[in-house]
């Protein structure tokens, strides 16, 4: 905005929450897609996270663009989620924003939905690679967001494969981060959605 001569506070990242419309609220959003293949965490890991969070009492939905419907459906199928949990291609930008604004948790890669989680103070776990979260990640002083990054790991892999910096975090690390950002719920701004309490149990260990 400064480029165009508009005065703006670079630390003011908040957006006013839109109404929930007719969308579910309090859901956990798993967003497996990203524009570049190197920035996509493996499908089986997203599915494992979605399955475990469901076992812990989360209502999980899988989002994505119209071109990511197959990807989202595969994640949902591997996680044992019903077809109704796949929202990829069925929601516009405004609807995704409302989902995030009234959501419980976001698990995604380094892509736009992570910025929405920051703007609406919705707890998030974001997986970065190859770009550092210092450039595009959430502010480090907000403990309800967690950016996972293995560091500047060089890649000798093909462009169509997950970057090794992104492949480094495992399922257990993401689940642990999800627990941590949920525990900081009492520190969230008043405009942020409340985090529902739940009985904690695990379908399996990781």
pLDDT tens readout for residues 133-173: 988 899 988 999 999 998 877 666 555 688 888 889 999 99
Structure tokens at 68: 């990511």
Evaluate if residue 202 carries a pLDDT over 80.
no
| Element at 130 (helix H, strand E) | none
Q: Is residue 10 part of a domain?
A: no
Structure tokens at 79: 């996680």
pLDDT (0 to 100) of residue 151 = 81
Query: Measured between alpha carbons, how far is 132 from 149 in angstroms, rounded to an integer?
Result: 7
Q: Is residue 6 part of a domain?
A: no
Q: Is residue 201 part of a domain?
A: no
- Asked whether the beta carbons of 86 and 62 are under 8 A apart, the reply is yes
The residue range of the domain holding 135 is 19-152+161-187
Q: How many domains does the chain have?
A: 1
Q: Is residue 126 part of a domain?
A: yes
Please report the beta strands in 39-173, taking only residues with DSSP state E, as ranges in sequence order: 60-62, 105-109, 124-127, 145-148
- Asked whether the beta carbons of 37 and 160 are under 8 A apart, the reply is yes
Q: pLDDT, tens digit, for every residue of 78-96?
A: 999 999 999 999 999 999 9
Evaluate if residue 128 carries a pLDDT over 60.
yes
Q: Is residue 35 part of a domain?
A: yes
Q: Is residue 4 part of a domain?
A: no
pLDDT tier, 62 (very low <50, low <70, confident <90, very high otherwise): very high
More confident residue, 106 or 184: 106
Segment 119-126 mean pLDDT: 96
Sign of CA dihedral 103, 104, 107, 111: positive
Q: Is residue 72 part of a domain?
A: yes
| DSSP-derived 3-state class of residue 156 | coil
Return the CATH number at 121: 3.40.50.2000
Q: Could you give the angle at which helices 43-55 and 171-183 cross, rounded to 10 degrees?
A: 40
Which residues on neighbouring strands pair with residue 146, listed in sequence order? 125
* Pairing state between β 60-62 and 28-31: parallel
pLDDT (0 to 100) of residue 206 = 41
Evaluate if residue 184 carries a pLDDT over 90.
no
Q: Is 200 left (phi over 0), alpha (psi -120 to 50) or beta?
A: beta
Q: Is residue 198 part of a domain?
A: no
Sign of CA dihedral 86, 75, 121, 54: positive
């Amino acid at each position: 905005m400064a480029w165009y001569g508009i005065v703006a506070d670079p630390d003011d990242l908040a957006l006013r929450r839109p109404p929930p419309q007719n969308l579910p609220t309090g859901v956990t959003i798993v967003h497996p897609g990203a524009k570049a293949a190197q920035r996509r965490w493996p499908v089986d890991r997203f599915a494992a996270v979605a399955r475990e969070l469901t076992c812990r009492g989360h209502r999980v939905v899988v989002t994505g663009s119209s071109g990511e419907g197959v990807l989202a459906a595969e994640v949902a199928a591997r996680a044992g989620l019903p077809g109704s949990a796949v929202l990829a291609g069925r929601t516009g930008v405004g609807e995704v924003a409302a989902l995030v604004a009234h959501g419980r948790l976001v698990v995604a890669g380094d892509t736009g939905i992570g910025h929405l989680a920051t703007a609406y103070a919705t707890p998030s776990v974001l997986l970065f690679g190859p770009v550092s979260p210092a450039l595009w990640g959430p502010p480090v002083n907000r403990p309800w967001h967690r950016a996972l990054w293995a560091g500047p790991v060089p890649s000798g892999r093909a462009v169509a494969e997950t970057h090794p910096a992104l492949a480094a975090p495992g399922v257990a690390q993401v689940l642990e981060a999800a627990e941590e950002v949920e525990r900081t719920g009492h520190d969230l701004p008043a405009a942020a959605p409340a985090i529902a309490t739940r009985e904690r149990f695990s379908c399996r260990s990781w």
